[in-house]
Amino acid sequence: MIIDTADRLKVTKEYYFSVKLQEVRSLIAQGKDIINIAIGNPDMAPSQSTIDALNRQSNNPENHGYQPYRSIPELRASIQAWTKKTYGISLDSADEILPLIGSKEGITHISLAFLNPGDEVLVPELGYPAYGAVAEMVGAKAIKYPMVEGKNWRPDIPAIQNMNLSKVKIMWINYPNMPTGASAHKDVFREIIDFGLKNKILVCHDNPYSLVLNEGPPISLLATPGAMDVAIELNSMSKSHNMAGWRIGWVSGGKSYIDAILKIKSNVDSGMYKPMQLAAVEAFNNPESWHIARNEEYKRRREIVYTILDLLGCSYDRSQTGMFLWAKINPKIGSSDLLADYLLYKKNIFVTPGFIYGDKGQNYIRVSLCVKPEILEKVKERLKSFDMKEI
């Protein structure tokens, strides 16, 4: 390489799954029959009406071309109506909702909009690696905050309050939580918003899992009194509407926060394809029966995964939310990476080792429910002869 790369690449690693999936593809090319139960990639299709809308709108010659940076008004209005129906919150579609090309890009936009070099960002000690990775890409420092395992993995606010918060600008939270499957609770949100207000820290809530295997009514952080002053929330259609790969998400919050994020976004992309926006509008009209049917299928798969985890000698909480199961490995195995490598190389099964979400995940694995039942049954067959003494 003749040209040196930017200094930020010295602290930025390629995303774990980007690297590991290349290895999995290589093994498959060698003739290995690898079963992937690691990735949260919804394998069920969107509703038929959503697909029909995309086809219909794509055939309209007037729907091609660049679109508004804030998206078409119909999409924002649909998000407004859906969040009112789903979470009971009233947002201004013109000023308090900004559609994104997937919510993941929102993590970068938010970080660029609010962080300066030297600022600090609170990230969960178990959480999506992108929160910390993007913070460090923009020159900030990621500080891991403690979570209380015995209290549904809630942030340990008293302990966090005792930390040096003088440089902290943002706090990332994610409930229902990934990877632990911990549910959202109003009292937890109340405590977090009070913390943000007291310390003038922007609370950023990543909320894509609230409609997946959630036994209680889905809740939004923005429904908490005072939240609009100190919080923003990301959401996505990938999990809730089986639209992974469509790249349709959004961020909600107070007008000043949305305007700041738009300044970054408008310099990065040129809007979303209009027929996809109109198809998303149609998806927001899915009847409740469609969502129930999706969750019933995930429940069926979850029962099989329980058996898989039992075969591995893992322990787990049956009240988890979302499209994964987070399970503690038998302490005799040693670590999640040892188990994951054994399963990949000896059993041709790819699972996620918990350490990639933080040091506290070293004794856990994560298994996806985005796998057809017949494939999960094949995993069961391969594990009937599992013996941890071989690891």
pLDDT in tens, 178-228: 999 999 899 999 999 999 999 999 999 999 999 999 988 999 999 999 999
Provide the residue type at 141 as one letter.
K
pLDDT over 80 at 12, yes or no: no
CATH topology of domain 65-283: Aspartate Aminotransferase; domain 2 (3.40.640)
Pick the CATH number of 7-45+288-390 from 3.40.50.300, 3.90.1150.10, 4.10.320.10, 3.90.420.10: 3.90.1150.10
CA distances to 19, 24, 28, 229, 377 from 31, in Å: 19, 11, 5, 55, 21
- For 115, the token pair is 């962080």
The domain locations on the chain are 7-45+288-390, 65-283
Contacts of residue 93, Cβ cutoff 8 Å, sequence gap at least 6: 73, 76, 77, 79, 80
**How much is the pTM?**
0.94
Contact 76, 70 (CB under 8 A): yes
Give 45-61 pLDDT, tens digit per residue. 999 999 999 999 999 99
Q: Nearest CA to 276 among 74, 116, 108, 15?
A: 74
pLDDT value at position 115? 98
β strands within 176-323, DSSP E: 202-206, 231-236, 249-253, 315-316
Could you give the CA distance from residue 194 to residue 321 in angstroms, rounded to a whole number?
Answer: 25
